[in-house]
Structures are given as C-alpha cells and as structure tokens.
A and B are shown apart, each in its own frame.
Chain A
Amino acid sequence: MPLLEGHTARAFDGDLSALHVHAVEMGGLVLDQVQLAISAYADWLRPQAHQVLERERQVNAYDRTIEAESLQVIARRQPMASDLRAVFAIDKVVTQLERAGDEAKKLAVTVLADSETRGFRPGHAMARDARQLGRLVTQSMRASLDAFDRLDEAAAAQVLRQDHEIDQEYAATLRRIMTRALEDPRLMHGVIEAAFMMRSLERIGDHARNVARQVLFILGH
C-alpha cells in the first residue's frame, strides 16, 4: 500500500485516528494514481494506464469504507469541537481525493482509447507540457496530503498561496496548444483531447487545494 513517506502522525484518538489514517492512506494511493496516470499519458504507456484503471477500484473502496467509518464515529462518539470538524473535513477530503482519482482515470482511459476521434498520443511538445503541469499538481497534492497527515497549518497555507502557479501554467499551456491547432487544423481532434487532459490536471490541482482548505478548517480557521 503506497503510504506517504514518513507517515507517523497520530493527530487524533481512537476511532477518529483510524479514520484519519485511512484517509491519509487513500491520499497516498490517489497521489500514486495521479503520478502514474500523468506518465502513462505523457509517455503513452498502456500497461501503466491499465494499472491506473485496476487500482481505481481500491480508491472507490476506500471512499466507501471511510464513509461508513465516519458514520460509526458520529453514531458512537457524537464528536464535538475539533473532533466534529475533523469528521466533517475528513469526509470532504475523501470526496476531493475520489474526484482527483476520477481525473487520473480520465487520463488512463484516453491512453487506452482507440478510435477516430479519441486516443491521440501527445506529440513531443504537448507531452512536455503535460509533464510540466503534472509536476506542479503532483507537488501540490503531495504537499496538501502531507499537511493533512500532520495537520500542519503553515504547510496547508503554503499550498493555498502557490495555487495561482498552477492556474498560470494551465492558462499558458492552453494558449500553446491552441496555437498549434491554429497552425495545423488537421490536429484539431488531438488538440481538443489534449486540452481536456490539461483540464483534468488542473482539476487535480483544485482538489489538492481543497484538501489544504479542509486542513485549515480542522485547525479552526
């Protein structure tokens, strides 16, 4: 099970601690999915894309388990104050992770698509763009999961401060892609697909940012 490196934190007691640890584990898995999906797309690697789809089931299983565990914690403990905020926030984090996992899946599905209008291997420049944007969103996701693991206020705030870098990179990437389409209209299908892939990456960045927001919520902000 891919865990975030150095995961040792025990921020909560008992059931709530288990809930937190499971959400952090799910985060590790989703981060791995995202990285794998980016390299599957940029380097057009079908086996890796298959692996992403395989593991998507595990992500969904985490989602269901954690949801059931949250209900149990609420029913048994009737948590208050920071514990109450945590149960609430962990649930939201899990939703964000699940959605980030869905975006990763879209990349993988594209690599495995085989039709007239879908499944275009990105050219050299587009692959470089995908790697570059991918690197930023993976960094952001790693940092926000780390902040979530340690409930680190400063780290979460840092993720939010850097969010605009992803937005800028995304906008610049789209401009470059569109310019290519204008130069050669035969590339249109591939360009539209690439634009969708970039949007998936940008959304993963949004989900990472939302995880960081939940960390601040748990800490009472």
Chain B
Amino acid sequence: MTEILQAKDLHKSYKMGKSRLEVLKGLELCVNAGEFVAITGASGSGKSTLLHILGGLDTPDAGYVEFDGGRIDKFGAGQLNRFRNKMVGFVFQFYHLLDELNVLDNVVLPTMASVGSLGWLARRKRARKRAAELLEQFGLGERIKHKPYQLSGGERQRAAIARSLMNEPRLLLADEPTGNLDSETGNGILSVLQSLNRDGQSIVMVTHDERMAERAGRIIRLADGKIV
C-alpha cells in the first residue's frame, strides 16, 4: 500500500499567559491511500489542532507533514493554496458554509476559487452540474437554492461534505463531522463517508464518539500529545 500522508515528530504548543500549553509532543502518524482512519481522544487533546496541521491550515512548531512524498512546510504560497484547493477536502465540526451563498454556490466555491473569471465562465456549467450531482447524492437535490441557515445541521454537514469533495481531493479530512448531530443523523453522515471510502476515498476523521470511530477502518487514539 502507498502512503498518502505522513506526520513526523509533530510538536505544537500554545502560549497560555506565561506558561506554554504543549498540545502535540512528537506525534507520528501514517495514512495509506484508500484508508479510513478515525482519530479519537479526549476533548482538548489536540485532535482539531492535528487535523489543521495535516490539512495545511496551521503550522507545527517542529516536525513536518509529508503529503504524497512532498513536505507541505516546504510548499510556496501558491503551492500551498493548490494543495488546500485540490489535494485535501476539509469538513469542519461547525460546517463553515458561507451564509451569503446558497448551497449550490457553496459547493462550487472550491472550483470557482481555483480558476480565473474566464476559466470560470468556461467551466461554470460543468462545475454546477457536478455540484448538483453531489448534492443529489447526499440527498440535498431539492435544497440547492436554499441558504445554509435554512438547512438543518445534518443537511449543512452533508452540504459541507459535498463542498469538500468538489475538486475530487486525494484526502478527506473531517473534524467531528457528527459532533453536533443526533446519533441517527450522525449515522447517516457516517454511512456517506463509508460509501465514499468504499469508492476509494482516503479519509481521516476526528471524533470523540467511540461508536462512530468503530465504523472506520482504523482507530488511532490521541493522548498526551501522542498517538497511543
């Protein structure tokens, strides 16, 4: 199996007044292509911090992340933007959809952002078709014109997943995708992720819900800043 993601000796700490709060203390992690990995740990153990670092949204104090053999800390600004845009898809605990755009526009946003105005005009139709198909697939076919605030939590999370998949990323990073949902809706989201994984999508999911974690291919536990 080929490795898609590798974290080497990650350190991260936050300033807390005079002292420092060490969140990650030499964390090592390896994810293979096509894997579905669940990361669990107590609240405040640094799961979100880790996921942000893996997705290039945050930088570690020491150590590095390798994606497909390339170190993302060595990426230039343009490369890093392309990495965030094309290589990884992020699903946040709190959905993070843009309130001003409707569901469809939220989902096409990653494609829109990756091309210029002319490129967008050329690609617009195809992109909107793909977005509509994704939303259809997640059961939101009827809601594409709605604004995020008109959707339920579960619907928003599915829209967010659709957005993260828009540019067909190599790796899906999901931070507690079921954290704010009741167990039934959460189960639905997990089913979506599982079926994506069956189609070959690599996924790293953070959760503190053991039952959700069990549905992933591999469970990693985070404690005291390290994988245990």
Task: Check if A and B associate.
Answer: no
Which residues from chain B sit less than 8 Å from chain A, CB to CB?
none
Which residues from chain A sit less than 8 Å from chain B, CB to CB?
none
